[in-house]
């Protein structure tokens, strides 16, 4: 992509430094290598580790933002801080990720006549648990996001939810296939040797909204029926989400012999190498990168039928589906998989990497966001 001799400034804003680093650093690198001047805005979080930050970008901090709490005074301060940063950096466009921070960015961008391109990475806690507030918020969203040239969703179900409620116009809706995956980083890993006890791996945040109550209840039933299995659980504990599961509960599950918690891993490939299958029991996702990582490494996936998950599964080829939050059906499915011939699992593992369409790879994600910038530049 060609840009003028004076670098075009673009800003990325998200609800955590970890989020940008883990999911979108490849996109920041792409825009930087394409000649753009990239800056990022993230909340100031004392619990964030140094390696959670994307590297080599001008970074601005928001001391008054919390992703899961609302405070009127802090909201005013948030808008003031964003305004100062926007005026200082003079971006040609702002990319925002996740719902709440996108609302704040949209209000400020609208006042300053700066194009905002929000990406809704799933309809989270608000839409799952506070539907009355969500419906009121949705009505206001129509006005707040009115000036956005395009609004990205990661799956059609979320986009159609907004369309049905007439919160966005169809011509402004865009679908971008998740946050991307690098096929040279996630490559097929040798499948484990035949063994009596098969390994189930859960990768994700340790939250009830990720379907862990259903998963644990199902595993307990398997244990009571003496079905052999070993479940590894990896992911971040805490972070302020209303459905976070405390470490004490995880330790209880370990003591009961239900799971083995192995911590939070920045590189999950060694864990994938140990596993026979991945389980994704989430109640809702934007687009599950866990599933993509598993498939790319040659691991079949047991997935809920939730939005952002089911579309990645080809039943009996690269995985299996169960009705979201259905303990009975998940238990029956696990029994079937844990007792099926090893040759069938091995065959599915070999098919899994080839089942990922190119639209989910990083290159396609880069092209989608690059086209949105080009559209803005043409309108100026």
Asked if residue 91 is part of any domain, the answer here is: yes
- The verdict on 353 and 267 lying in the same domain is yes
More confident residue, 186 or 66: 186
Asked if residue 3 is part of any domain, the answer here is: no
- The verdict on 127 and 210 lying in the same domain is no
- The verdict on 175 and 36 lying in the same domain is yes
The pair of structure tokens assigned to 272 is 């994938």
Average pLDDT over residues 315-323: 97
Asked if residue 192 is part of any domain, the answer here is: no
Asked if residue 261 is part of any domain, the answer here is: yes
- The verdict on 217 and 283 lying in the same domain is yes
Confidence label for 2 from pLDDT (cuts 50, 70 and 90) = very low
Q: Find out whether 116 and 148 touch, Cβ atoms under 8 Å.
A: yes
Domain that holds residue 374: 9-180+361-379
- The verdict on 33 and 157 lying in the same domain is yes
Read off the pLDDT of residues 335-350 as tens digits, 9 standing for 90 and up.
Answer: 999 999 999 999 999 9
- Contacts with 354 (C-beta within 8 Å, 6 or more apart), sequence order: none
- The verdict on 153 and 253 lying in the same domain is no
Average pLDDT over residues 131-139: 63
- The verdict on 286 and 304 lying in the same domain is yes
Read off the pLDDT of residues 9-64 as tens digits, 9 standing for 90 and up.
Answer: 999 999 888 889 889 999 999 999 999 999 999 987 655 554 555 567 889 988 86
Asked if residue 188 is part of any domain, the answer here is: no
- The verdict on 352 and 371 lying in the same domain is no
- The verdict on 210 and 331 lying in the same domain is yes
Asked if residue 114 is part of any domain, the answer here is: yes
- The verdict on 115 and 64 lying in the same domain is yes
Longest dimension (CA), the chain: 68
CA neighbor of 29 nearest in space, from 366, 328, 266, 364: 366
- The verdict on 279 and 227 lying in the same domain is yes
Read off the pLDDT of residues 239-294 as tens digits, 9 standing for 90 and up.
Answer: 778 889 999 999 999 999 999 999 999 899 999 999 999 999 999 999 999 999 99
- The verdict on 275 and 372 lying in the same domain is no
Read off the pLDDT of residues 340-380 as tens digits, 9 standing for 90 and up.
Answer: 999 999 999 999 999 999 999 999 999 999 999 988 877 66
Res 3 pLDDT > 50: no
Specify the CATH number for the domain of residue 333. Answer: 3.40.50.2000
Asked if residue 232 is part of any domain, the answer here is: yes
Average pLDDT over residues 88-92: 94
Provide the number of structural domains found in the chain. Answer: 2
Considering only 88-102, 116-130, 148-162, which range has the smallest mean pLDDT? 116-130
The Cα 342–Cα 365 span in angstroms is 36
Per-residue exposure over 78-91, b if at least 16 CB sit within 10 Å of its own CB, e if not: bbebbeebbeebeb
């Amino acid at each position: 992509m060609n840009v003028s001799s004076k670098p075009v400034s673009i800003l990325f804003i998200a609800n955590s430094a970890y989020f940008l680093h883990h999911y979108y650093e490849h996109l920041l690198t792409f825009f930087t290598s394409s000649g753009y001047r990239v800056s990022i805005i993230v909340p100031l979080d004392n619990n964030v580790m140094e390696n959670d930050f994307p590297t080599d970008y001008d970074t601005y901090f928001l001391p008054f933002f919390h992703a899961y709490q609302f405070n009127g005074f802090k909201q005013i301060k948030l808008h003031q801080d964003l305004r100062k940063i926007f005026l200082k950096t003079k971006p040609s466009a702002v990319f925002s990720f996740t719902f709440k921070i996108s609302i704040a960015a949209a209000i400020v961008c609208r006042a300053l006549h700066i194009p905002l391109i929000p990406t809704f990475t799933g309809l989270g806690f608000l839409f799952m648990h506070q539907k009355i507030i969500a419906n009121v918020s949705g009505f206001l969203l129509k006005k707040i996001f009115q000036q956005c040239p395009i609004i990205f969703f990661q799956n059609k179900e979320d986009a159609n939810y907004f369309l049905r409620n007439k919160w966005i116009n169809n011509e402004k809706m865009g679908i971008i296939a998740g946050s991307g995956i690098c096929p040279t980083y996630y490559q097929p890993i040798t499948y484990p040797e035949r063994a009596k006890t098969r390994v189930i791996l859960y990768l994700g945040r340790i939250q009830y909204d990720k379907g862990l109550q259903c998963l644990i209840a199902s595993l307990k039933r398997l244990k009571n029926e003496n079905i052999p299995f070993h479940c590894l659980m990896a992911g971040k504990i805490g972070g302020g989400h209303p459905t976070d599961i405390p470490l004490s509960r995880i330790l209880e599950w370990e003591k009961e012999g239900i799971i083995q918690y192995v911590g939070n891993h920045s590189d999950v490939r060694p864990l994938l190498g140990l596993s026979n299958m991945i389980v994704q029991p989430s109640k809702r996702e934007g687009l599950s990168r866990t599933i993509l990582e598993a498939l790319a490494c040659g691991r079949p996936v047991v997935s809920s039928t939730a939005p952002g998950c089911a579309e990645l599964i080809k039943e009996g080829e690269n995985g299996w589906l169960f009705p979201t939050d259905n303990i009975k059906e998940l238990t029956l499915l696990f029994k079937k998989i844990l007792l099926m011939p090893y040759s069938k699992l091995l065959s599915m593992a070999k098919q899994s990497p080839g089942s990922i369409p190119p639209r989910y790879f990083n290159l396609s994600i880069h092209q989608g966001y690059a086209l949105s910038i080009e559209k803005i530049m043409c309108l100026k």
